Structure 1
């Protein structure tokens, strides 16, 4: 009986541990993206390389562990993969990294706290989740949604006094040209809108991935298809918008490290873990862990980017 309880406890803890790992990876990669976004690199090209690395990482897993999934590829699955590549890849990342270039990393991440709220509304509207407002769980989900929206409003309207700065007197942005500090008037609002669009794209991705996993329950294959579609879409967008061909050259520098880390870790590893957790617990459960990334990014930014933590932000 004791062993049975231990097994059940371990199984129930797996999604929690996996989501903590995912959010930790996202937090570190986001700091790296913020640094690259401020050094003049082409953001659209960086995203292309991110999904190229992600594709190269995930496809071998499909070959070794999920060969049978190829036999189950249908037009519907490919269309869902296209949407995953769009909402979880090309569109989401282009909106997100351009938001990072306009506002601080902590600010952008905080706006992503709206992801659980948006996901909740979409899931209820699509009848993937029942409100169950008469139950404690239903009330908790509603309160979580309202608190997420309230937090985003506080962030937007109120900054407040500085609380503390945990800086190690290291500012990794001091030697790069910061578009955050030299951006035109109105860029703060534009950054806010881009971050909001990123949150919506994230939510649509979770919803689509949940639908896809019901008929195509192969997590490595879902991650690989998402990466492939994201790479194709990002390449088409970058080739149409980036005229400086020197931006496509990768040297042994932070840009290469960021592209590889974002592709292999944030897209490759995290896509697999997210697909697994969405299949087990649903899109709302996965989205509920996004605020953890805010806490991690806020502290990391304070340590190495010399950003202050204030009452509102």
Structure 2
């Protein structure tokens, strides 16, 4: 038995389980860098609705040829169900979530909007449990770890955002890429706080719905590059229609070799194009809750990058919040690791790679043994001879 396990490659199971973790850490790191570049684009006066449209356009142009090269045969398996799921993923994860976030950012503040996004893990956990994409058994230790880990992650993100505490002089770079605009801050303070809060909650709900639908799409269409390309294409059409309705000033649609081009290139090719593909693979492997629980990690990375690049001070609340986020993340990963293997990877609706083996027992064989003919679907017949143990 031990030799069979080694031949099947179970010795590398720990490394295989580590890949989704490293993948989601990479995703959140790239998303954190995108937030820094977003600040630079806002300081330059770019309309973020136009940025969202260009972002999905760049992602589509990048992903379509890549998907054609890597997953050429996947286009034959596109059904109306796949197209519908792609449209919904583009609507909730691309168009609605990002545009709602931008509007809530203007009506409230950047700090408040960033804090509200940490409701995504809790909302995703509820939706995944309702659609039976995640096991929810409070009586088991793994179920309790996932629940309390999610609560700790959200609580740590709130502490990191709202509680400052004493400043910590860890490093001093004297680098500030963004000059804060007092006029913009005044407009934010005069915004409709109640409406901005409601839109921020709707943004989190849309993103949680996107993660849940993405898990269903991965089951029906397990081609991550092609599905992400269709998602970005749908979001591109939707975002361009919305941006054209809201912004008629054509000077806002122009950009040269400046921060605006860097922003749409980074967010489109790297964030949407590459990282959405990595996230789709992680969702297929571990489910939507696994992907959403890494969301608060972005706040930790943003806090570090802001202190290095934007000359923002680190405070005691940042350290406490970071500790709670990491502890909650570890608890969820530990709970996921103790689940049965069938809960880990999302099964395919098409039963991709399944093989049915027919075993025909020959009862006319000798008394001291049983012979069987195994009919394999690959066209090979295997002869099996089983000798009963001596009692």
Using the size of structure 1 for normalisation, the TM-score is 0.90
Counterpart of 1:136?
Answer: 141
Matched, 1:159 2:171: no
| Deviation by residue 1:132-151 (Cα, 9 ceiling, x = unmatched) | 11111100111123334544
User: Which residues in structure 2 correspond to 1:35-184 (within 5 Å)?
Assistant: 35-101=40-106, 107-151=112-156, 158-164=162-168, 166-174=171-179, 179-184=184-189
Residue 244 (1) aligns with residue 249 (2): yes
The CA RMSD over aligned residues, in Å, is: 2.5
> Which structure carries more relative contact order (alpha carbon 8 Å, separation 6+)?
1
Alignment: residue pair count: 312
Instruction: Provide the C-alpha distance between the structure 2 equivalents of 1:249 and 1:301, rounded to a whole number of angstroms.
Output: 28
1:295 aligned to 2:300? yes
1:182 CA displacement: 4.2
Structure 2 SS opposite 1:138: helix
For structure 1, list consecutive stretches of 5 or more residues without a partner in the other structure: none
Asked whether 1:257 is paired with 2:258, we answer no
Ranges of 4+ aligned residues in structure 1 off by more than 6 Å:
none
Give the number of the structure whose alpha-carbon radius of gyration is greater: 2
Preserved contact between residue 39 and residue 176 of structure 1 (Cα < 8 Å): no
Q: Deviations over 1:230-289 (max 9, x none)?
A: 100000001101010111112110011000000001100011101111111110111111
Normalized against structure 2, the TM-score is what? 0.73
Mapping for residues 226-241 of structure 1, pairs under 5 Å: 226-241=231-246
Q: Any conservation in 2 of the 1:106–1:298 contact (CA below 8 Å)?
A: no
Q: Could you list the runs of 5+ residues in structure 2 that have no partner in the other structure?
A: 319-391
Name the CA distance, whole Å, in 1 between partners of 2:155 and 2:73: 46
8 Å Cα contact 1:173-1:305 kept in structure 2: yes
The secondary structure found in structure 2 opposite 1:63 is helix
Mapped contact 2:106–2:191 kept (Cα < 8 A): no
User: What is the CA–CA distance in structure 1 between the aligned matches of 2:109 and 2:177, rounded to whole Å?
Assistant: 13
Question: 1:207 is paired with a residue of what secondary structure?
Answer: helix
Task: String of CA shifts for 1:75-128, please: whole Å, max 9, x gaps.
Answer: 211111111101111111112234445666555433322211110011112222
CA, structure 1 residues 175+290, in 2 after alignment: closer, same or farther (shift >3 Å)? closer
